[in-house]
């Protein structure tokens, strides 16, 4: 049953547990110790490997029109000197699907704003990377409304499966702790249980 549901969800998330938090944390350049330093709006000009006015490129998408996040990050990184270390002390949220006004459901339906706000469609990135990405990339077209509905449904299923799995793991951990505790202190069981953890078995 779980495999059927997972297959029906377009296999959008191979490891659902990675998306438990609301945002994905992406550090696109080498990590730098967090310390107070001036905020840079963009990578320094002498690190640019393209002209942002003339060399903008399309946001990479897959064959369904969904943004390919890995390719997007790699493509943006490739436009800056690889020796550049991006400050990571200041992060902000990037929506993979922009411009926002394109996703108002009253225009295209399919609950497009929910699609845009899915946790897997947002990431925390250093401010210079975020600003640079917006400066050099052209936003992807809005995916087909049917695919938007499918992705929304897929996320609902995947998220429910993850929560159910997490609950099972938590219950199993509690059971193991209870068993270990009773093994160490069998006297905590009521006498009427005759040494059998009736509640634990239930």
Task: Give the list of residues 6+ apart from residue 13 with CB closer than 8 angstroms, or none.
Answer: 19, 120, 154, 155, 158
**Over pLDDT 70: what percentage of the chain?**
72
pLDDT for 183 beyond 70 = yes
For residue range 126-175, list pLDDT tens digits in order.
999 999 999 999 999 999 999 999 999 999 999 899 888 888 888 888 88
In this prediction, residue 15 carries a pLDDT of 36
Q: Is pLDDT above 50 for 189?
A: yes
Q: What is the pLDDT of residue 195?
A: 67
Residue 58, phi then psi, degrees to nearest 5: -70, 145
State how far the Cα of 99 lies from the Cα of 104, in Å rounded to an integer: 10
pLDDT for the residue 28: 57
Write down how long the chain is: 202
Sort strands 137-138 and 91-95 into parallel, antiparallel or unpaired.
Answer: unpaired
SS3 sequence, 96-108? CCCCHHHHCHHHH
Confidence class for position 60, pLDDT limits 50, 70, 90: very high
| Amino acid 107: pLDDT | 66
Alpha carbons 28 and 19: distance in angstroms, whole number? 18
What's the confidence (pLDDT) of residue 21? 40
Measured over the CA atoms of residue 28, residue 29, residue 30 and residue 34, the dihedral's sign is negative
The helix (run of H) or strand (run of E) holding residue 57 is strand 57-58
- Where are the alpha helices (H) located in the chain, listed in sequence order? 2-8, 69-77, 105-108, 112-117, 127-136, 145-184, 198-201
Residues 35 and 23: their CA atoms lie apart, in Å, by 23
Q: What's the pTM?
A: 0.68
Q: Which among 56-65, 82-91, 157-166 has the top mean pLDDT?
A: 56-65
Q: What is the mean pLDDT of residues 95-124?
A: 86
Segment 10-19 shows an average pLDDT of 38
Q: How many CB atoms are closer than 10 A to CB 152? A: 16
What is the structure's pLDDT at 201? 60
């Amino acid at each position: 049953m779980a495999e059927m549901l997972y297959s029906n969800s377009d296999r959008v998330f191979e490891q659902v547990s990675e998306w438990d938090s609301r945002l994905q944390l992406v550090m696109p350049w080498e990590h730098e110790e967090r310390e107070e330093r001036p905020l840079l709006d963009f990578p320094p000009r002498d690190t640019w490997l393209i002209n942002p006015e003339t060399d903008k490129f399309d946001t990479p998408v897959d064959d369904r029109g969904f943004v390919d996040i890995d390719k997007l990050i790699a493509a943006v990184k490739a436009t800056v000197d690889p020796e550049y270390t991006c400050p990571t002390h200041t992060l902000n949220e990037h929506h993979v699907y922009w411009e926002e006004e394109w996703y108002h459901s009253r225009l295209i339906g399919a609950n497009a704003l929910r699609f845009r706000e899915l946790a897997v469609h947002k990431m925390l990135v250093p401010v210079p990377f975020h600003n640079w990405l917006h400066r050099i990339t052209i936003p992807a077209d809005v995916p087909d409304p049917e695919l938007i509905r499918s992705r929304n449904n897929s996320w609902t299923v995947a998220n429910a499966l993850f929560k159910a799995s997490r609950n099972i793991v938590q219950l199993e951990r509690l059971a193991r702790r209870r068993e270990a505790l009773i093994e160490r202190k069998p006297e905590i069981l009521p006498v009427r249980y005759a040494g059998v953890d009736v509640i634990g078995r239930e």
